[in-house]
Structure 1
Amino acid sequence: MVSIKDIAKKAGVSISTVSYALNGNPKVTEDTSAKILAIAKELNYVPNAAARSLKTRQTNIIGVFLTNYGGAFYGQLLHGMQEALASKGYELIVCSGKHTHRFLPERLIDGAIVLDIAFSSEEILKHADTGHKIVVMDRELDHPNINQVLLHNRSGATLAMDHLIEKGHRKIYTVTGPQRSYDAMQRLEAVRQAVERYNDIEYSEIPGNFNKPAGEKAAEQIVKEYTRPVGVFCANDEMAIGMYNYLSKTNFRVGEHIHIIGFDNIELSQYIKPRLATIDFSERKWGAVAAEQVLKLIANQPVENERIYTTFIPGDSVREVR
Structure 2
Amino acid sequence: MVSIKDIAKKAGVSISTVSCALNGSPKVTKETTAKILAIAKELNYIPNAAARTLKKRETKIIGAFLTDYSGSFFGPLLQGIREMLNQKGYDLIVCSGTQSHRFIPERMIDGAIILDATFSSEEILGYADRGHKLVVLDREVIHPNIRQVLLDNKAGAELAIQYLADKGFTSIVFHTGPESSYDSNQRLQSAKEIAERLQINYIELQGEFNKLSGELAAQQLVQNYSQPVAVFCLNDEMAIGMYNYLAKTNYRVGEHFHIVGFDNIEISHYLQPRLTTIDYSKQKWGALASEVLMKLIANESVENEQIHVTLLEGQSVKKI
Instruction: Pick the TM interval, shorter chain.
Output: over 0.9
Deviations, residues 204-254 of structure 1 (Å, cap 9, x unaligned): 111111111111111111111111100001000111111111111111111
CA displacement at 1:41 relative to structure 2: 2.1
Kept after mapping to 2: 8 A contact 1:229/1:321: no
Counterpart of 1:150, as a letter, is L
Counterpart of 1:205, as a letter, is E
CA distance in 2, matches of 1:254, 1:239: 14
Corresponding residue SS for 1:59 = coil
CA distance in 1, matches of 2:306, 2:151: 5
CA distance in 1, matches of 2:313, 2:269: 11
Match of 2:153 in 1: 153
CA distance in 1, matches of 2:166, 2:21: 71
Match of 2:22 in 1: 22
Corresponding residue SS for 2:251 = coil
Gaps of 5+ in 2: none
Kept after mapping to 2: 8 A contact 1:61/1:93: yes
Is the counterpart of residue 320 in structure 1 residue 318 in structure 2?
yes
Counterpart of 1:137, as a letter, is L
CA distance in 2, matches of 1:175, 1:27: 65
CA distance in 1, matches of 2:246, 2:48: 55
1:1-322 equivalence runs, <5 A: 1-199=1-199, 201-316=200-315, 319-322=317-320
Aligned sequence identity (%): 64
Kept after mapping to 2: 8 A contact 1:153/1:183: yes
CA distance in 1, matches of 2:169, 2:48: 62
CA displacement at 1:184 relative to structure 2: 0.5
**TM-score for the superposition, normalised by structure 2:** 0.96
Corresponding residue SS for 1:86 = helix
How many residues are matched?
320
CA distance in 1, matches of 2:234, 2:188: 8
CA displacement at 1:38 relative to structure 2: 2.6
CA displacement at 1:119 relative to structure 2: 1.2
Deviations, residues 237-275 of structure 1 (Å, cap 9, x unaligned): 111111111111111111110110000011111221100
Corresponding residue SS for 2:93 = strand
Counterpart of 2:24, as a letter, is G
Kept after mapping to 2: 8 A contact 1:138/1:150: yes
- CA-atom RMSD, angstroms? 1.4
Kept after mapping to 2: 8 A contact 1:170/1:230: no
Judge which range, 190-199 or 152-161, deviates more.
190-199
CA displacement at 1:167 relative to structure 2: 0.5
CA distance in 2, matches of 1:290, 1:114: 10
